Amino acid sequence: MNCLECDATLSVPDDASVGEIISCPDCGADFEIAKKEGSNVELKQAESVGEDWGE
């Protein structure tokens, strides 16, 4: 699986779940795991941090 920004190779840990964020080791772009069925993983651009985020 390649980064949607810079085409670097992304590795998705086996125990990662839908909704988790993975970051590209090369360009730092964040992606959210949108779907995960076995080795079939779909990523989407992660939301950027919002003004109302946090505890």
Partner 1 sequence: MSKVCIVFDRLRAEEKMLQKEASDLGHATIMLDAKITQINTDSKRNDFDLGDVVLERCVSYFRGLHFTASLEFMDVPVLNKFDVANLCGNKMFMTLLLKKHNIPTPKTYFSFSSESASENIEKVGYPLVIKPVIGSWGRGVMPLKDKDTMDAILEIRDITDSPHDRIYYLQELVKRPPRDIRIITIGDRPIAAMYRKSTGGFKTNIALGADPELCEITKEMEEMATKASEAMGGGILGIDMMEDEEKGLVVHEVNNTVEFKGLARVSQQNIPKEIVEFALNYIRK
User: Quick check: 36 binds partner 1 (CB under 8 A)?
Assistant: no
Dist. CA 42–CA 36, nearest whole Å: 6
Residue with tokens 């909704």: 19
Smallest distance from the beta carbon of 25 to partner 1, in angstroms? 20
Give the span between the Cα atoms of 4 and 11, in whole angstroms.
13
x-or-dash pattern for partner 1, window 9-28, by CB under 8 A? --------xxxxx-------
Q: How far is the CB of 18 from partner 1 (least distance, A)?
A: 7
Q: Rounded to an integer, what is the distance from CA 28 to the centroid of its chain?
A: 10
Residues that bind partner 1 (CB under 8 A): 17-21, 32, 46-47, 50-55
